Amino acid sequence: MNKSLFDVKMWVKDMQQGKRIALARIITKIENRDVEVPELMKEIFPLTGKAEVLGVTGPPGAGKSTLVDQLIYASRAEGKKVAVIAVDPSSPFSGGAILGDRIRMQRHYGDTGVYIRSLGTRGKHGGLSHSTKEAVMALDAAGFDRIIVETAGVGQTELAILKLAQTVLVVLVPESGDSIQVMKAGLMEIADLFVVNKSDRPAADQLVRELVVMVGMNSDHEAKWSVPVLKTEAVKSVGIDAVMKSLSEHQSYLDESHLRNQKRTSFLSEEIEDILLEKFTQKIKESLSSKKGKEILSDLTSGKITPYDASGLIFKI
């Protein structure tokens, strides 16, 4: 008998029935880019496509997790099941750097309608955006109605990750004031909603005004969605209702404008790209370490062929 201890079908079924251990184990396999992932995703994929996926980003310390905590609370009041993935590209370990987030959101502990998980760059380099996409699919299949992806920071990796969201919420704070940064970081292009948090601080209104002007300059007149700029004081739960309202309006807009389908297509197209890249990378590594690969490398080192010749030959193995 050579049956794997990890019965993919059974774990996915358990996950669908709400068993936390199954969900956690599946996401860990995804995070580690385990060999069973393709088989897992085959079971998971047909169960996806129902969840609302929100992305939350902004500079470090802007209050993203505090706001997400409020969004969880408000979503629960609507009867929705919510999952949060806190992504930290700078962390090689999940759970470590983002431990603070778990503590911040721990009032939901014991609520079976809430699941919070961190993802770091464990496993192979560059796979974080791929892992996040598949973790979102797993949570969707597990029956969460709303999935919130919080990314720490506004670098290229974070922006790439946010492509998977249907609605992107950018959180800024008065002291990060320089709205020029917003332009530079490419946030204007991805924001569906701006939130100026810590509005208890001076200069919040100033930042709101600047953002409104920038949104106005950036929006094309044909656009049916005008990006709202809202003020919150997340620690005190101020302004959350308006954020929830805008999020729901954006979701309706996605349906009315048929953008939801378009977003799903681009999500899946990126997933294919990631799968192929992963396969190619693996294949190239195998080819390079094969007998033939070593001969090619030796010819390259001795100057008989060029790196481009070598690549062509490796490609044909």
Answer for which of 83, 152, 154, 169 binds ligand GTP (CB under 6 A) is 152
Strand partners, 150: 56, 86
Q: 3-class SS at 56?
A: strand
**Nearest distance from C-beta of residue 219 to ligand GTP, angstroms:** 26
Q: CB atoms < 10 A from the CB of 314, how many?
A: 18
> Toward ligand GTP, which CB reaches closer, 94 or 197?
197
Q: CB atoms < 10 A from the CB of 224, how many?
A: 8
Tokens 């029935």 belong to residue: 17
> Toward ligand GTP, which CB reaches closer, 69 or 140?
69
> Toward Mg ion, which CB reaches closer, 64 or 146?
64
Give the count of residues interacting with ligand GTP (CB under 6 A): 15
Residue 200 makes contact with ligand GTP by CB under 6 A: yes
| CA distance linking residue 54 with residue 168, whole number of Å | 6
Beta carbons of 215 and 227 less than 8 angstroms apart: yes
Site string for ligand GTP, 58-97 (x = CB under 6 A): --xxxxxxx-------------------------------
| CA distance linking residue 172 with residue 175, whole number of Å | 9
Pairing of β 193-196 and β 146-151: unpaired
> Toward ligand GTP, which CB reaches closer, 73 or 225?
73
Site string for ligand GTP, 222-251 (x = CB under 6 A): -----------xxx----------------
Residue 117 makes contact with ligand GTP by CB under 6 A: no
198 binds, among ligand GTP, Mg ion, none (CB under 5 to 8 A by kind): ligand GTP
Residue 116 makes contact with ligand GTP by CB under 6 A: no
**Nearest distance from C-beta of residue 232 to ligand GTP, angstroms:** 6
110 binds, among ligand GTP, Mg ion, none (CB under 5 to 8 A by kind): none
Closest residue to bound Mg ion by CB: 65
**Nearest distance from C-beta of residue 32 to ligand GTP, angstroms:** 23
66 binds, among ligand GTP, Mg ion, none (CB under 5 to 8 A by kind): ligand GTP
Q: Could you say which DSSP state residue 226 is in? A: P
Q: CB atoms < 10 A from the CB of 3, how many?
A: 6
Residue 137 makes contact with ligand GTP by CB under 6 A: no
Residue 291 vs residues 115, 123, 310, 317: alpha-carbon distances, Å: 48, 27, 14, 10
| CA distance linking residue 315 with residue 317, whole number of Å | 6
Q: Cβ neighbours of residue 228 under 8 Å, at least 6 residues apart?
A: 193, 194, 246
Tell me the H-state helices in the chain: 8-16, 20-31, 37-44, 64-77, 99-104, 128-141, 156-162, 179-184, 187-190, 204-218, 240-256, 259-289, 291-301, 307-316
**Nearest distance from C-beta of residue 152 to ligand GTP, angstroms:** 4
**Nearest distance from C-beta of residue 118 to ligand GTP, angstroms:** 10
| CA distance linking residue 22 with residue 15, whole number of Å | 5
**Nearest distance from C-beta of residue 242 to ligand GTP, angstroms:** 14
User: Which amino acid type is present at position 250?
Assistant: H
> Toward ligand GTP, which CB reaches closer, 31 or 69?
69
Give the footprint of ligand GTP on this chain (CB under 6 A): 60-66, 104, 152, 197-198, 200, 233-235
